[in-house]
């Protein structure tokens, strides 16, 4: 039982490049979330999903897209990376209450 | 405006020296208040959920309490392994929105 996993763990991009972050969960969570964590700002919600095939915008959605084609996977895409998107990204799964987080992806955009 | 404020930002304790962390909040229709522990380089780990004023939860050396305006995380006789950042979050009723505080960095010295 791996819980919530994220790939990759680290990534360096150049401005304008694209990439996809993958989140996978084996806990049968209906809800899944993508957050970014920046120093002094706390975790901020980017997008979330309340079930397979559904997505919705969170607090800071600009520059990101998501998809949830399968219940166990939640993908976060950056179409054209910007230095402001340098951050640590966390995926979480939950059932409407407490959330269970993955180990994070550290992304640097040069 | 929904807001979560944690204090202090950082706290250094000697092993065995009990103390409390504070999480004050303003949110419309609190649906739940959550405490997480985050170790460096890792995702937040769920600790407690509190739903109503007067509620208390305990786990080993940690005890969380809730009033209508704030929550406390009491740490009794801490050990060096309790060193971590402790995050507080609130869930706004009627939404899927979770608001996180910036955390308290706790260091327990042997």
d(CA A93, CA A80): 26
Question: How do residues B4-39 score in pLDDT, each as one tens digit?
Answer: 999 999 999 999 999 999 999 998 888 999 999 999
- Would the CB atoms of A42 and B32 count as touching at under 8 Å? no
- Amino acid A47: pLDDT: 96
Q: Is A110 on the interface with B (CB under 8 A)?
A: no
With an 8 Å Cβ cutoff, is A105 touching chain B?
A: no
Taking the domains of chain A in order of start, what are their residue ranges? 4-109
- A14 — contact with chain B (CB < 8 Å)? no
Residue A1: predicted pLDDT: 67
Mean pLDDT of B38-61: 95
The domain A4-109 is classified under which CATH number: 2.60.40.10, 2.40.50.660, 1.10.10.10, 2.20.25.240? 2.60.40.10
Q: Are A93 and A32 in contact (CB under 8 A)?
A: yes
Minimal CA–CA distance to B16: which of B103, B75, B56? B75
Average pLDDT over residues B50-62: 96
pLDDT at A96: 64
Residues within 8 A of B (CB atoms), A 43-102 only: 43-45, 48, 50, 56, 58-59, 90, 92, 97-102
Residue of A83, A69, A64 whose CA lies nearest to A24: A69
């Amino acid at each position: 039982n791996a819980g919530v996993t994220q790939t990759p763990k680290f990534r360096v991009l150049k401005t304008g490049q694209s990439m996809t972050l993958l989140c996978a969960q084996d806990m049968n969570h209906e809800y899944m979330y993508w957050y970014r964590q920046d120093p002094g700002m706390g975790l901020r919600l980017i997008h979330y999903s309340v079930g397979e095939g559904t997505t919705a915008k969170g607090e800071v959605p600009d520059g990101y897209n998501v998809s949830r084609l399968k219940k166990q996977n939640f993908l976060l895409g950056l179409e054209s990376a910007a230095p402001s998107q340098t951050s640590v990204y966390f995926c979480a799964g939950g059932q409407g209450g407490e959330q269970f987080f993955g180990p994070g992806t550290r992304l640097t955009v040069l | 405006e929904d807001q979560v404020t944690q204090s202090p930002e950082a706290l250094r304790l000697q092993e065995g020296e009990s103390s409390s962390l504070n999480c004050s909040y303003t949110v419309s229709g609190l649906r739940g208040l959550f405490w997480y522990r985050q170790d460096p380089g890792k995702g937040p780990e769920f600790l407690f959920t509190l739903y109503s004023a007067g509620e208390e939860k305990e786990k080993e050396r940690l005890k969380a309490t809730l009033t209508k305006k704030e929550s406390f995380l009491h740490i009794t006789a801490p050990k060096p392994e309790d060193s971590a950042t402790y995050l507080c979050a609130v869930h706004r009723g009627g939404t899927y929105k979770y608001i996180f505080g910036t955390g308290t960095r706790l260091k327990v010295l042997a």
